[in-house]
Amino acid sequence: MTETVPPAVDLFDVVRLHLTQRKEPPLSPAEAAARDRVWEKAVQSNPALFDGPVVACAGLERTDPCVLSLSWVPVTYRHYALRRVPGATALGSLFVNVLQPTDDGRLVAARMSSSTAAPGRWQLPGGSVEPPLTGEGLVDADLAGQAARELFEELGIRVAAGALQLWVATRGENSSVGLTYLAPELPQPAVRAAFADMAAGEQARGHEPELDDIAFVSSLEDLGTLPGPHADYLAPIVERYAAGR
């Protein structure tokens, strides 16, 4: 299969993941203080931001034709404020997302709502990886479970973690790494109904949904009709999926 991938995004086929936990790199007192100032300013601009626990990526490499090795570090969202501190080095974020196909060959693209950190951005449903609550190591089942949870929370689609296939890994802006899972096909009307029910339920509880719109795309031309910013991985993934059908 021939792939056309923008230089800013690397795509990796995944047969098996090898996960290794690392420690967060130490910061000097000056770097830590600068990071905190940047974070506090960001929270003032967007009070919806919170300093919860997340997983960062310290490295991604192919160590075997069938194995992709990923080093992960437990941090909090505050860590990524280092990207705006001159001379400091921030780890790449690690996230999971889900490729939800429909039975007519299209894929679901979703738009972030105005209250999120990336308002108006088109992307796949998904979110940052969270560290295990037990304090134990991160395993494949954790990642698939988090992907299934994101699909339900953001699109209202319930699927068992075991039904998701780890399809591709991406590395893009700021060395951020995404693990993309492929979900079983659904009819478009079922996807629209699930999304509408989810949004209505969130609004009834007084919450703004993370996603405020969805679209069905099958090509780069379709993506070109979606106004606003796009996640850097979106076009390469859509193109790859279309080429493999």
Give the integer Cα–Cα distance in Å for 127 and 231: 12
Give the integer Cα–Cα distance in Å for 70 and 94: 10
Where are the domains positioned within the chain? 10-244
Provide the pLDDT confidence category of residue 132 given band limits of 50, 70 and 90: confident
Q: Is the pLDDT of residue 5 over 60?
A: no
Q: Model-level pTM?
A: 0.93
pLDDT of residue 226: 97
Q: Is the pLDDT of residue 2 over 70?
A: no
Give 184's DSSP letter.
Answer: P
Give the integer Cα–Cα distance in Å for 190 and 41: 42
Q: Is the pLDDT of residue 231 over 50?
A: yes
pLDDT of residue 245: 64
Specify whether the CB–CB gap between 28 and 36 falls below 8 A: no
Provide the pLDDT confidence category of residue 98 given band limits of 50, 70 and 90: very high
Architecture of the domain whose range is 10-244:
Alpha-Beta Complex (3.90)
Q: What is the mean pLDDT of residues 77-81?
A: 96
pLDDT of residue 70: 97
